[in-house]
Amino acid sequence: MARRQRLDRLLANSGYGTRKNVKQIIRNGRVTVDGNRVTDNGMQVDPESQVIEIDGERLNYREFIYLMMNKPQGVISATEDRYQETVLDLVPDEYSSFRLFPAGRLDKDTEGLMLLTNDGKLAHELLSPKKHVPKKYFARIRGCVDEKDCQAFSEGIVLDDGYKTMPARLNILNAGEISEVEVIIYEGKFHQVKRMFEATGKEVIYLKRLEIGPLKLDEDLEPGCLREITEEEIQKLKSFIL
Ligand code: URA
């Protein structure tokens, strides 16, 4: 794939600031390409074959960014919204030039693992209904969850609109007036976990996503916090879906 692109765009996409910031950096003569100082923002460069330095330091070239967020309750899974706080509002400014978006959705009141990326191909594969990527949730349920529910989940549940879900795995951690369970679903219908419990006459009162395929929520991430996923996590994710 041709990687030639405008110098200012490359720097902005590599996290050196907004397009305006990086234009200033270039104009100030702080950038060299193959050892030659450049001041032309629009110069076409190839970060794979050319040596690009900023203040004498080699450009840390990255095309794609993958962030793992522990989404807090009260925030919507959108890139922008006029009235409500979005997951993108929680992303630090250093990533602002990367055009990140959430790969998949969680309800406003759902917490947990959210992947934010600018890698459209990976996101597309991850969300493709054909891939059946498992998603694991922890849920607190009003009502006593029992073996009959586990059996019903394993056969697929008919939702309020008549759709029968794929078989899902339900694991009871605690059963009582309030039960605690883990659920694994292999598709991503709107409000799916809540609707599956509704169909069995119970109510989800707390929901947290723990895993997407091989990617596990880092337990050290407090709600609202994020980190880049490691090279190993990226490789596991890619080999799982691509
Ligand atoms: N299922 C739901 O009901 N809500 C979510 O946010 C995710 C899965």
Q: Are residues 196 and 161 in the same domain?
A: yes
Distance of CA 242 to the CA centre of its chain: 16
**What mean pLDDT is predicted for residues 42-60?**
93
- Any idea of the CA torsion for 23, 24, 27, 31, to the nearest 10 degrees? -80
Q: Are residues 73 and 120 in the same domain?
A: yes
Query: Which residue owns the Cα nearest ligand 1 atom 3?
Result: 191
Q: Are residues 123 and 151 in the same domain?
A: no
Task: Give ligand 1 pocket residues (Cβ under 6 A).
Answer: 106-107, 110, 191-194, 207
Question: For the domain that residue 141 is a member of, what is the CATH number?
Answer: 3.30.70.1560
Q: Residue 110 Cα, ligand 1 centroid: separation in angstroms?
A: 7
Q: Are residues 144 and 203 in the same domain?
A: yes
Active site residues: 107
Q: Are residues 111 and 205 in the same domain?
A: no
- pLDDT value at position 52? 96
Measured from the Cα of 196, ligand 1's closest atom is 3
User: In the structure encoding, which two tokens stand for residue 225, read together?
Assistant: 């916090």
Rounded CA-CA distance 189/14 in Å is 35
- pLDDT of 1 > 50? The answer is no
17, 37, 58 - which closes a domain? 58
**What mean pLDDT is predicted for residues 93-108?**
90
Q: Comparing 1 with 236, which gets the higher pLDDT?
A: 236
* pLDDT band of 60, cuts 50, 70, 90: confident
Q: Residue 71 Cα, ligand 1 centroid: separation in angstroms?
A: 13
Q: Are residues 192 and 223 in the same domain?
A: no
Q: Are residues 206 and 234 in the same domain?
A: no
* pLDDT band of 226, cuts 50, 70, 90: very high
Residues of the domain holding 28: 5-58
* pLDDT band of 233, cuts 50, 70, 90: very high
Q: Are residues 38 and 74 in the same domain?
A: no
Measured from the Cα of 106, ligand 1's closest atom is 6
- pLDDT of 2 > 60? The answer is no
- pLDDT value at position 15? 79
SS3 state of residue 143: coil
Q: Residue 186 Cα, ligand 1 centroid: separation in angstroms?
A: 12
> E strands along 81-185, which residues?
101-102, 111-117, 135-142, 169-174, 178-185
Angle between the N-to-C axes of helices 231-241 and 120-127, in degrees from 0 to 180, rounded to the nearest 10: 50
Q: For 107-150, what is each residue's pLDDT tens digit?
A: 999 999 999 999 999 999 999 989 999 999 999 999 999 999 99
- pLDDT value at position 17? 86
**What average pLDDT does the structure give for the chain?**
95
Number of folded domains in the chain?
Answer: 3
- pLDDT value at position 12? 86
Q: Residue 209 Cα, ligand 1 centroid: separation in angstroms?
A: 8
Ligand 1 pocket, mutate which of 71, 75, 106, 111 (most atoms under 8 A from CB)? 106
